[in-house]
Amino acid sequence: MELIKELPDVFEEFAEQRQQSFLGIKELKDKGVPIVGTFCTYFPQEIAMAMGAATVSLCSTSDETIPAAEKDLPKNLCPLIKSSYGFAATKKCPFFYFSDLVVGETTCDGKKKMYEYLSQFKDVFTMELPNRQTEDGLQLWKNEIIRFKEYLEQKFEVTITEEQIRDAVRVQNEGRVALKRLYELMKLDPAPMKGQDLFKVLYGSTFKPDRSKIPAEVNAIADKIEKEYAEGKMEEKKPRILVTGCPIGGATEKVIKAIEDNGGIVVTFENCSGAKSIDKLVDEDTDDIYQAIAERYLSIGCSVMTPNPNRLELLGRLMDEYQVDGVVEMILQACHTYNVESLGIRRFVNEEKGKPYISVETDYSQADIGQLNTRIAAFIEML
C-alpha cells in the first residue's frame, strides 16, 4: 500500500478486503496452503499460523442466506448464527467452501448446536471454551489449545514446533500494535476521521490471510492521518460515541451510519472487531508459550463469561481515554447473553461512569433503519 494514495481510497480498499480475499483464498488453496475457517475472537490464530495455514473469518453478516438456514434452524435464533450456517449450507461463502477445517468454540448455546450441523458439510473442530475466567478455566483452555495443535499435526501430517508458534505470536502482536496505534488516534479531539472509516480498516484487516502485511499497511495509514491532522485536516467537533455489544460488520454497520448521519462520531468500538480483539498482546518473553496464549485469549471480556469483569474494565478505560459523551450498545435479536448483560452495562455506564446509554436491538435486515435513525438522533440530540 502506497502512502501517496488518498485516504478515502485506502479506507475503501480495506472495506473491499473481504471480496478481494475470495480470490486470494482460492490462490492459496491452489498452492496447497491449508485454510482454517474461524468464527470467534477466542480462536487462538497463532496455532494455525504456526503450521503455515491461512485463517479466515466465517462469521456472516448478511441476511441473504437466512431463509435457507431457517429450513434447518429455528426462526427465533440469532441472525449471526443463521447467516453463518446459511452461507455454509448454500455454498455461497468462498471462505467456507475453500476451508480445509472449520474451528468453533463453545461460546453461546446457539453456536454450539449449530456446529454439530455444520459438520455435515466440513470437518469441524470444536474447542471447549470455559465460561469462567478462573484458574481451572485457564487450565482447561490451555489444554484445549494443546489439543488443537495436536489435532492439526495429525490431520495435516505436520509437526508444529514451539519456535513456529513463537514466530506466529510475534507476527500477530505486531499486527495488534499497529491496529491499536490506528484506533488510538481517535483519542484526538476533534477526531481525525470518521468512525465508519476506522471500522473499515479494523473489520477489513480480519480478512487478510497474510497477517504479516498488516503492520506496514496500517502504520502507513496512521502516519498519513497524523500528518494531515497536524496540517489541520480533521472532523468537526461532535458528540463522541462508544459502540459496544454484539459483533458488528456488514448489515449491522447501519448502526455506525445512523450515529454518524445524525450528528455523532464513533470514536471507539469495544466490540469483537474493535478494541476487544486487539487490546491485549500475548506475552512473548515467557517459558510457557501455551500458557501465555491461553491467558491472552481467555482474558477477552465477552458476555459468554460469567461473571464478566474484563468487559467492564475495558469499557470503563475506553470511556475515560476517548472522552466519551455517550454509549450505544448494539444487540442482535435473540442474542441472549448480550441481551441479559445489557442491564449490567447500562448500570455501569449510567451509575459508575455517569454517562448516557442507549441499547438498540436489531437484525440483519434493513427494515428498521428509519426507527434506528429516529432513536439514535434523539439520543445524540440529548447529548
3 — pLDDT class (breaks 50, 70, 90): very low
Is residue 266 in some structural domain? Answer: no
Per-residue pLDDT tens digits for 110-160: 999 999 999 999 999 999 999 999 999 999 999 999 999 999 999 999 999
287-315 confidence digits (pLDDT tens): 999 999 999 999 999 999 999 999 999 99
Could you tell me if residue 184 is inside a domain?
A: no
Residue 178: the pLDDT is 98
Tell whether 137 is covered by a domain: yes
- The cell numbers describing 16, all together, are 473491499
Give the mean pLDDT of 53-57.
93
What pLDDT score was predicted for residue 2?
37
Is 302 domain-assigned? no
Tell me the mean pLDDT in the region 361-380: 97
For residue 1, what pLDDT is reported? 32
pLDDT at 253 over 50: yes
Q: Residue 4 pLDDT more than 50?
A: no
Kindly state whether residue 199 falls inside one of the protein's structural domains: no
pLDDT band for position 324 (cuts 50, 70, 90): very high
- pLDDT at 208 exceeding the cut of 80: yes
Share of the chain above pLDDT 90, in %: 88
What is the tally of structural domains in the chain? 1
Q: Is residue 85 part of a domain?
A: yes
Q: Is residue 264 part of a domain?
A: no
CA 296 – CA 249 distance, rounded (Å): 24
Q: Which domain holds residue 59?
A: 7-162
| pLDDT over 90 (residue 279) | yes
Query: Can you give the pLDDT at residue 195?
Result: 98
Question: What average pLDDT does this structure show over 357-367?
Answer: 97
Quick one: pLDDT at residue 96? 92
Q: Does 371 reside within a domain? A: no
CA triple 246-252-255, angle to 5 deg? 95
Task: Work out the average pLDDT over 71-83.
Answer: 97
Q: Does residue 357 contact residue 327 with C-beta atoms inside 8 Å? A: yes
| 169-176 mean pLDDT | 98
> CATH number of the domain that 45 lies in?
3.40.50.11890
